[in-house]
Chains A and B, each alone.
Chain A
């Protein structure tokens, strides 16, 4: 396979160097390999005989594998992709890093771990390479921001993550439903802008067949399974109550003292909301993780849902979905009062306060310190993030790469024609863009041991969801443990990392 591809290469590229080689290559490549190569002006290297081992969380491997052959053909190098079961990615990467075992050159993982890996020196700074990159400026600023550790870029972005809301247009936009809703609740039925509306809509659509499927529908579907994506969904709700737009960095901790905020009344309110909406979901919602939420949502009758951009893509696949073309989108609602950790009181606002949450932070690629082929590794990362390839990836179903560059949002028509064949991409793209460029967009927790903080939060919210503890008591327990983790990890260093994220000094 590799040899075969090498034969396709223009012979001249191995001999020449510098800009001459580049232009020669462009010309010849466009003849030999077609337009895909011609759109890569920065291509300059020859990696014949070099193998780049890429370790990737299994969920997004196809977003990388799809470019393997093309890159191999162009450079003569070889790519070996190792899929690591999604949930075990962190510990697998971490143990490989800390034991010094050289197992891979490139790691593709969640951006939350960037500071941890960067500070320990497991991954290399990419600043020396970035001058070669021609499309850095088109990465959305909120995605750019999370690539840094101590002022240096450590990753190539491959994905943009933000959690937002979905609704079924055949539920919310139907005149008959609108009229009945108006009569019952006294205001117009539309995509929710407050959590009260979200609740009312969920209630309204629960227990009757509004879709004509012959089965009673449900108001809402959110992933609530323990040890799954639950915390992300919960935080995306809590952020709206606790991430005060007038106080930077107020979501997880008090940025001055690192006192956990997860048990403040804002978080408690979000947990109460989350518990309440269980009534409007299917009984098994408590056992549905992210995957089950998506599979069910696109094949069933749920008026509202909360997820990353994945539901939108999955809904376009008619093998999985019965709701193609029936999907509406909204930035998650906001309350009119947000907790203020300084005054220790609710702060009233005249408009709903949204706080879109970049949960998980998106997939990013880094180069391992132990890599002996960093040049090739960089070239491959740059290749899969090239402007045309990134667009191909985000518009192909099953890649788990969601839009993260300006040009991904600017041409909805291309989404209709791309493999995903998105039925009505404009509102989808507008919503993601609105969420990602929202002034109060909230980054995920990017401090040391973020996994432990999440695990604790998950455990205690589950206790509250199951009714064995009150929301207040459960979150108080979680906050106690967060305090202990911070203390163990070092308050000062955690504080610095936490403040870095919000640009606080």
Chain B
């Protein structure tokens, strides 16, 4: 839709959005310039402009590409893989479950739809701090420690509740008549879901995928406990560099800036999906 008419003051919006943009971006700017600072310039600061009040250096990026490159790119690749695949799986399973919860009535023992929905989302409520120990023991027993499969599995589990919960609402809002129409055209249930309902829920699906991607991308604790070397992710690599003994903030900044790129890329790819398509006949 042309979203211009959903209400609210119009002249205020430029001010608010501009202020927020400054607030949102300034720390990013600070990370960026910190990546080009010498350690002593970080600790003698604040210096604002490279080349003006401090002399920029590319030490940090050189480190990323040389000494640190093995770990860094290994972690980066794993993180991209886990975030993408677990995002896809959680959205896929999530969409089916959400469709079910939106369209059918369930009775599982005493639980009805709302209870099932809450039950699913409640998995997200468990603080992972102690649960990771149990997961570690389970994974060790199943031989899943430090494996790609294990990590994709755990992140799908981690993100699925969120997908289900978010998507249920989106699917509820899609009028079932459209599916009835498709059914008349000879679409079976699965194809109705995949080709009719899912495209209409794209804004929700894109949002759910992106959130799943982000949660996986930023997870530290699960990766710390369940990986060792092979399936190590970027946050663990970065945390190892931070080593609260040695303030390598220049390096963390460089890694942090590079680490923003994949989610930005994911978002750009999803961008088209984020806004509702005009309905097809």
Q: Please, how many angstroms separate the alpha-carbon atoms of A95 and B221 in the complex?
A: 14
Q: Is A269 an interface residue (CB 8 A)?
A: no
Q: Is B136 an interface residue (CB 8 A)?
A: yes
Q: Is A85 an interface residue (CB 8 A)?
A: yes
Binary per-residue interface labels of chain A (72-100) against chain B in the complex, 1 for a CB within 8 Å, 0 otherwise: 00000000101111111000100100011
Q: Is A275 an interface residue (CB 8 A)?
A: no
Q: Which residue of A lies closest to B141 (CB)?
A: A99
Taking CB atoms and an 8 Å cut-off, the chain A residues in 309-346 that contact chain B are 310, 317-322
Q: Is A103 an interface residue (CB 8 A)?
A: yes
- B43 contacts which of A85, A103, A296 (Cβ < 8 Å)? A296
Q: A95-B133, A99-B136 are in contact. Are A82 and B228 (CB under 8 A)?
A: yes
Q: Is A374 an interface residue (CB 8 A)?
A: no
Does B140 lie within 8 Å of A101, measured CB to CB? yes
- A92 contacts which of B43, B224, B243, B246 (Cβ < 8 Å)? B224
Does A85 lie within 8 Å of B40, measured CB to CB? no
For B229, the chain A residues whose CB sits under 8 A away are 53, 80, 82
| Contacts between the two chains (Cβ within 8 Å), count | 95
Q: Please, how many angstroms separate the alpha-carbon atoms of A296 and B245 in the complex?
A: 12
For A88, the chain B residues whose CB sits under 8 A away are 224, 239
Q: Which residue of A lies closest to B221 (CB)?
A: A88
Q: Is B59 an interface residue (CB 8 A)?
A: yes
Does A294 lie within 8 Å of B244, measured CB to CB? no
Q: Is A58 an interface residue (CB 8 A)?
A: yes
Q: Please, how many angstroms separate the alpha-carbon atoms of A393 and B247 in the complex?
A: 20
For B42, the chain A residues whose CB sits under 8 A away are 295, 299
Q: A294-B246, A300-B43, A320-B39 are in contact. Are A95 and B240 (CB under 8 A)?
A: no
For A99, the chain B residues whose CB sits under 8 A away are 136-137, 140
Q: A99-B136, A101-B145 are in contact. Are A294 and B247 (CB under 8 A)?
A: yes
For A295, the chain B residues whose CB sits under 8 A away are 39, 42-43, 247, 249
Closest approach, in angstroms, between the C-beta of B174 and any C-beta of chain A?
45
Does A100 lie within 8 Å of B140, measured CB to CB? yes
What DSSP secondary structure best describes chain B's contact surface? Answer: helix
For A319, the chain B residues whose CB sits under 8 A away are 38-40, 57, 59
Q: Is A175 an interface residue (CB 8 A)?
A: no
For A127, the chain B residues whose CB sits under 8 A away are none
Closest approach, in angstroms, between the C-beta of B238 and any C-beta of chain A?
9
For A296, the chain B residues whose CB sits under 8 A away are 43
Q: Which of A30-38, A284-292, A455-463 contacts B (4 or more CB under 8 A)?
A: A284-292
Does A310 lie within 8 Å of B247, measured CB to CB? no
Q: Is B69 an interface residue (CB 8 A)?
A: no
Q: A85-B236, A99-B136 are in contact. Are A59 and B39 (CB under 8 A)?
A: no
For A298, the chain B residues whose CB sits under 8 A away are 40, 43
Q: Is A200 an interface residue (CB 8 A)?
A: no
For B122, the chain A residues whose CB sits under 8 A away are none
Closest approach, in angstroms, between the C-beta of B140 and any C-beta of chain A?
5
For A85, the chain B residues whose CB sits under 8 A away are 224, 236, 239-240, 242-243
Taking CB atoms and an 8 Å cut-off, the chain B residues in 39-79 that contact chain A are 39-40, 42-44, 57, 59, 71
Binary per-residue interface labels of chain B (211-231) against chain A in the complex, 1 for a CB within 8 Å, 0 otherwise: 000000000000011001100
Q: Is B148 an interface residue (CB 8 A)?
A: no
Q: Please, how many angstroms separate the alpha-carbon atoms of A84 and B136 in the complex?
A: 16
Q: Please, how many angstroms separate the alpha-carbon atoms of A298 and B59 in the complex?
A: 19
Q: Is A400 an interface residue (CB 8 A)?
A: yes
Q: Is B157 an interface residue (CB 8 A)?
A: no
Q: Is A424 an interface residue (CB 8 A)?
A: no
Q: Is B241 an interface residue (CB 8 A)?
A: yes
Q: Please, how many angstroms separate the alpha-carbon atoms of A117 and B244 in the complex?
A: 24
Binary per-residue interface labels of chain B (118-155) against chain A in the complex, 1 for a CB within 8 Å, 0 otherwise: 00000000000000010011001000011000000000
Q: Please, how many angstroms separate the alpha-carbon atoms of A57 and B243 in the complex?
A: 8
For A259, the chain B residues whose CB sits under 8 A away are none
Q: Which residue of A lies closest to B71 (CB)?
A: A83
Taking CB atoms and an 8 Å cut-off, the chain A residues in 93-133 that contact chain B are 95, 99-101, 103-104
Q: Is A173 an interface residue (CB 8 A)?
A: no
Does A86 lie within 8 Å of B43, measured CB to CB? no
Does A59 lie within 8 Å of B245, measured CB to CB? yes
Does B243 lie within 8 Å of A58, measured CB to CB? yes
Does A299 lie within 8 Å of B40, measured CB to CB? yes
Q: Please, how many angstroms separate the alpha-carbon atoms of A83 and B246 in the complex?
A: 14
Q: Please, how many angstroms separate the alpha-carbon atoms of A69 and B199 in the complex?
A: 54
Q: A82-B228, A299-B43, A300-B43 are in contact. Are A228 and B244 (CB under 8 A)?
A: yes
Q: Which residue of B lies closest to A398 (CB)?
A: B246
Q: Please, how many angstroms separate the alpha-carbon atoms of A296 and B41 in the complex?
A: 10
Q: Please, how many angstroms separate the alpha-carbon atoms of A104 and B40 in the complex?
A: 37
For B249, the chain A residues whose CB sits under 8 A away are 295
User: Which of B140, B241, B244 has the most CB atoms of chain A within a 10 A radius of its CB?
Assistant: B244
Q: Please, how many angstroms separate the alpha-carbon atoms of A292 and B236 in the complex?
A: 21
Closest approach, in angstroms, between the C-beta of B150 and any C-beta of chain A?
13
Does B133 lie within 8 Å of A320, measured CB to CB? no
Taking CB atoms and an 8 Å cut-off, the chain B residues in 237-262 that contact chain A are 237, 239-247, 249
Does A291 lie within 8 Å of B243, measured CB to CB? yes
Closest approach, in angstroms, between the C-beta of B221 and any C-beta of chain A?
9
Does B39 lie within 8 Å of A299, measured CB to CB? yes
Q: Which residue of B lies closest to A323 (CB)?
A: B40
For B246, the chain A residues whose CB sits under 8 A away are 59, 291, 294, 310, 398, 400
For B136, the chain A residues whose CB sits under 8 A away are 95, 99
- A290 contacts which of B57, B133, B145, B245 (Cβ < 8 Å)? B245
Q: Which residue of A lies closest to B242 (CB)?
A: A85
Closest approach, in angstroms, between the C-beta of A115 and any C-beta of chain B?
23
Q: Please, how many angstroms separate the alpha-carbon atoms of A484 and B269 in the complex?
A: 57
Does A291 lie within 8 Å of B247, measured CB to CB? yes
Closest approach, in angstroms, between the C-beta of B167 and any C-beta of chain A?
35
Closest approach, in angstroms, between the C-beta of A218 and any C-beta of chain B?
13
Q: Which residue of B lies closest to A53 (CB)?
A: B229
Q: Which residue of B lies closest to A55 (CB)?
A: B228
Q: A83-B71, A85-B236, A100-B140 are in contact. Are A321 and B243 (CB under 8 A)?
A: no
Closest approach, in angstroms, between the C-beta of B142 and any C-beta of chain A?
12
* A-B residue pairs in contact (CB < 8 Å), sample of 13: A57-B243, A59-B245, A82-B228, A83-B240, A103-B145, A291-B243, A291-B246, A292-B247, A296-B43, A299-B39, A310-B245, A319-B38, A319-B39
Which 6 residue pairs are nearest across A and B when measured between Cβ atoms?
A: A299-B43, A58-B240, A291-B247, A320-B39, A295-B247, A85-B239
Residues of A within 8 A of B (CB): 53, 57-59, 61, 80, 82-88, 92, 95, 99-101, 103-104, 228-229, 289-292, 294-296, 298-300, 310, 317-322, 398, 400
Q: A99-B140, A291-B243 are in contact. List 19 more A-B contacts (CB 8 A).
A: A53-B229, A59-B246, A84-B240, A86-B240, A92-B224, A95-B225, A289-B244, A291-B244, A295-B43, A299-B39, A299-B44, A300-B44, A310-B246, A317-B39, A322-B40, A322-B44, A398-B246, A400-B245, A400-B246
